[in-house]
Each structure stands twice: as C-alpha cells, then as structure tokens.
Chain A
C-alpha cells in the first residue's frame, strides 16, 4: 500500500467521476429531491416562523415589535375564527389572540392578564421556540419588565394534526439513506466495473500500483462523496444539528459501510448490467428503513431488520432528538461489526480479483 499512489489514483477517480453520468446522477439526485420536498412542503424555502395575531382591541404597542421583527412573518387577522382556521391548516405556526383591554391590563398593576396562544400541531420545535420567545420579548419591552416577570397567564391550545413530524422530517431518513448509500455504493462499484471492462485495471496493476491501492482509492472516493452528500443533505434540510462530532462519526461509519459494500459489489458483478440488476433487486432492502419511517404507524422493529436502519436511526436521533453517544451506542456497535465483516470480505475479494483479472485479459 502506497499513500502517494492512492492519492494519485484518487485524483484520477475525481477527474473521471466528474464526467460520469452515474456520479452526477447519484450526487445530484438527493439534492434535487431535497429541494423538491422543501418546495412542496415548505420547510426549506419558507423556514421563517409564521405568527398570526388577532387583536380584539388596541394593543399596537405589543404587536408592532412583532410586525417589525426581521426573523418572523407576522400576519394580523380580523377575527378569532380567522386566526384559529389559519393555525389549524398550518398557515400560521402560532396564533396569538389578545383579548379586549389586553394593553390596558398589561400597563396597569392589576393582577395576571390571561390570553390564548394557538399552536399548529405540526409546527417544528425550533420555530415554536423562536416565536414564543419573540412574543415574550415584545410584551416585556411593551411594559418595561423582565421577560420572566410578565404578569400574564397563557392558555395554550393545539390545533390541527397532533403529529409533531413535518413531511420534510419524515422524508429526511430516505434522503439520507439515498445520499449516503448511493454516493458510497455506486461510485466505487461502477468505477471498478468500468475499469475492468475497459481493461484499464489490468494496465494499472502492471505498474507499481497494487490492486489494493486501486481498491482503496475507489473506496476512499465513495467514502468522501458519501460523507459530503450526507452533510449537504442535512444542511439543506436544516438538520445538521446536535452533537457534531457524534454526527460526523455516524456519517463516517455509514460512508465506510456503503463504499466497502460498493467495491465488493463491483468486484462480484460480472458487468454493469449485472450490477444494476442486483441494485434493482436488492435496492429496496437498502431503502426500506427510510421508506418505513415515512409511515410513523409502522412498528419500529420492522426497520431494525434492515442494516441501513443502524445508519439512519443514529443520524435521526442525533439531529432530531439531540442524542448522545450512550443513546446510540448499540447502533454504532452494529455498524462497527458490519464494517469489520465487510472489510474481511473485501480482503478475500481482492485476493480473488487478481486471478480473475488475469483470466479476463
């Protein structure tokens, strides 16, 4: 194994991969899907928190700061009904209903002032926190008090679906599997098959570069693309959150699994048609956990049957639930065991490949 030669071959992979249709497809596809999902379900292009207000009397001094707030979209409604309907259908994530005499009551030293806040059932936690904090600050500024000393009583009411996962969040697992597995698996496999069919692999192995160098460069290419795609998809979906080091560890393990699996598939596939046939037949097994995640009513244990669950689950746990190492230890352990098994298999595959190459030439 020679690091310098591996890097030279990696450069060659990048150069040739940049003009390869399959590479472009697997890199662009998840991004396009992300953008489409965001466009359809609104999370990416309309991420600004949405606030609706119904003011029964003149509470302008509390409302104006919210209308002027640069980070939230505030809409005034003419009636309580209009406000609740807007929240119920998700047009507003929070609806603020200020009763008659609210401003006066706030300014006087009278006792607690009650008002109602409507929450849309599918609103994201991040937006809810932002909106509630903005409302609290606006009121505190309006009466010149601290945010924790506000003399208010809030009646919170949830409207619309009780599901707290948006469609973007439900589709994110599938997108993540697509980006990590497609990038990691397709690139090394197709590149290896192509080189074998065009006999450039045999040309490389009659130079000081070894078959191991060639395999490592392709695996590394898959690993890099896979990790890069995972990060891009998480960023595009506003989900690159939680414990970053842990997130990167999971992404790295996922990239390793996919790229090693890809290079093994490329080695055992006779040609491109055989490889595509395998992917068509077995692809569902790779994507299954992501597809099942779209339907929250499907029991979680079904997903656990599929290996990619152990990549998807820790990613979601870290990004959506702020999980730590202890929470996802089992998933990581499963991935490490799978990676070790695949590496042992790869070693055996490389040994056989040398003989196979000589026979094919």
Chain B
C-alpha cells in the first residue's frame, strides 16, 4: 500500500527534517508515527500527502511512485489535519457538501458522517459556533467523505473528551475493518497503543524503532507481576510485592499472598509505549 525507502527532506533554509527513513505499510494496517514536536513526523506526512515536493528517496503509494501521481491522488487519499480548517461562515452540512462536490467518485452522505460523530443535531449550525472538539470531529469525518483507500490522520483525538475520543478510535478501527489503510501521526502513546497495528518512533528525522505495540511491550517490559495487598486485614496499610511471571503458578510465596490476604491490585509489569519511547530515544514526547 505504501512504501518509503531512504526518504530525506531538507527545507529551503537548509534544515534537514527527515534523514533517510524507511518503512512500509500494508493494506488494512493502522500505522502509528510517533515522535515529539520537531522530530520530522509532520514533514514526513506533508511529503506523503504531496504538499512538500522535492524530497529524496523512493516513495510508492497505491502501487505507483508518488512523483507520478497527479491531483487524482486525493480521490484515493483522505487527509485530516491536526488543526480544524473549515469555512466558519458555512454550516457543518454545507462544509461537507462543498468538499463532497469536489470529488468525482462515490462519496458518503454528509448527514450519515455527521451522525457517526454525534454532530447530526448541529448539521445546520455555523462552524463559528462550534467548539474545538466539534470542529475536530468534523475535520475527521471530512477525510472520510470520499471513501479513501488511504487515510492520513494527524492527532485525530486531540481536543476531544474521552467519550468522543473513544468514538473516533472506534471509527478508525471500523475503517481498518473496511480494508482502509491508516497512517496516524500522534504523540499520544495511549491512542497509538490502543489502535495501531504497528508504530514507528521518529526522532531527529530518523526512525529509531518499528514494531507492534504488543511486541514492544513484551520486549521492553519486565516479566514480573506486582501485587498490592493488606497483610492484617483491610484496615491495615497496603503492602506491595513483586514476583517473576515465569513459574508464577508454582511460586509458593505468591500463592500464599493470594490465599491469605485481601488483594487490592494485581498487575503485570510490561512497559508502556511511553516508557519504551523514553528508553529507546532518551527523549520524552512533549
């Protein structure tokens, strides 16, 4: 679906934003592109959506070199930017209708898209009266209007409350189920962990690691389980104990804690994506 080989991009001022990165994305995959501000993820996305030309390296999208695509590229590619960019004097329905009319292929009914993100009641409201979260939801569904094969989503859950954030994640998963490929740029490790099939860490224009969140957690986490319990009844202070995961069923000390004490929490100690990012790059995502 998308293949990037030795991609480099240098801005006109001489700043080398991307330095020879390689990755491929399979059809139907959700690929998370993670990195702090200035790492090169936005530049990579701008190159992939044909906003920035003059890159070095080889990029193939939907079976064709990116340089050979013309503006029909956007009939098959959907883009949702990080910041909402709508016509504030038009209503939500009018905004979608305008963009819909620019595509020549089959498109979704704007009313259904608005319903999908809970904006059906606000279809006839001007965008100037929308909150940022509402504008973000509209931003997201606008990218789906023309049923694209490949979606570029930049921080799709930023500014959303947990309920709407969850709704967006479910829609992204549904798009994957429908066979669409998703390139997701984010610095939200939780979102990446929850919905991405694979993630790539980018820092200083270079990809430092690519794998599935599960593999990363397993590789970088400690194979231990942490138990919080009360030794002398619930009124006593909670105590903690850690046990190796291997041979846990035969660990008499662990079994004794479980049998004889009220348990408050019990967790395996796999690493979070954020821990792994910090560990592998030595940087935080902020």
Contact = CB atoms under 8 A, between A and B. Distances in A.
Contacts, number: 62
Nearest to B52: A358
Interface residues of B, number: 28
B104 interface: yes
A206 B89 contact: no
Contact of B103 (A202, A207, A361): A207
B130 interface: no
A198 B46 contact: no
B200 to A, nearest CB: 21
Interface string A1-30: 000010010001001100100000000000
A361 B46 contact: yes
A200 B102 contact: no
A163 B86 CA distance: 57
A348 to B, nearest CB: 16
Chain B interface main SS type:
loop
B183 to A, nearest CB: 13
A325 to B, nearest CB: 41
B53 interface: yes
Contact of A8 (B75, B79, B98): B98
B51 A357 contact: yes
A8 B52 CA distance: 26
19 contacts: A8-B98, A8-B102, A19-B89, A198-B85, A200-B87, A202-B85, A207-B74, A207-B99, A207-B103, A208-B71, A209-B102, A354-B51, A355-B12, A355-B53, A357-B51, A358-B51, A358-B52, A359-B11, A361-B51
In the A-B complex, the 9 residue pairs with the closest CB atoms: A199-B85, A358-B51, A206-B79, A207-B102, A203-B85, A358-B52, A209-B102, A8-B101, A208-B74
Given A199-B81, A203-B99, A355-B52, 12 more contacts: A19-B89, A200-B86, A202-B81, A204-B102, A206-B79, A208-B71, A208-B74, A354-B51, A355-B53, A357-B51, A359-B12, A361-B51
Interface of B: 11-12, 46, 49, 51-53, 71-72, 74-75, 77, 79, 81, 83, 85-90, 98-99, 101-104, 142
